[in-house]
Amino acid sequence: MITLEKVCFAYEHEVALRYVDLQIEKGDSVVIQGPNGCGKSTLIKLLNGIIYPSEGHYFYKNHEITEKTLKDRQFAKWFHQQMGYVFQNADTQLFCGSVEEEIAFGPVQMGLPETEVRQRTEDCLQLFGIEKLRDRPPYHLSGGEKRKVSLACILSLNPEVLILDEPLAGLDEKTQDMLLEFLQSFHKAGKTLITITHNRQLAETIGNRFAVMNEEHELKMI
- C-beta of residue 64 within 8 angstroms of C-beta of residue 39: no
At 57, the pLDDT band (50, 70, 90 cuts) reads very high
Q: Is the predicted pLDDT of residue 44 greater than 90, yes or no? A: yes
Q: What is the pLDDT of residue 139?
A: 85
> Per the structure, how many domains does the chain have?
1
> How many residues make up the chain in this entry?
222
Tens digit of each residue's pLDDT (9 = 90 or more) over 164-177: 988 887 778 888 88
At 111, the pLDDT band (50, 70, 90 cuts) reads confident
Specify the DSSP element, H or E, that contains 85: strand 83-86
| Whole-structure pTM value | 0.88
Q: Return the CATH number at 63.
A: 3.40.50.300
Tens digit of each residue's pLDDT (9 = 90 or more) over 118-155: 999 999 999 888 999 999 999 889 888 888 898 899 88
3-class DSSP state of 81: helix
Residue range 6-23: mean pLDDT, rounded: 94
Q: What is the pLDDT of residue 203?
A: 92
Q: What is the pLDDT of residue 144?
A: 82
Centroid of chain to Cα 65: 17
Cα 202 to Cα 167, 171, 199, distances in angstroms: 9, 13, 5
Domain that holds residue 203: 2-221
Q: What is the pLDDT of residue 147?
A: 83
Residue range 41-57: mean pLDDT, rounded: 94
Higher-pLDDT residue of 217 and 151 is 217
Q: What is the pLDDT of residue 122?
A: 95
Higher-pLDDT residue of 144 and 107 is 107
Q: What is the pLDDT of residue 123?
A: 92
Q: Is the predicted pLDDT of residue 18 greater than 90, yes or no? A: yes
Across all residues in the chain, what is the average pLDDT? 91
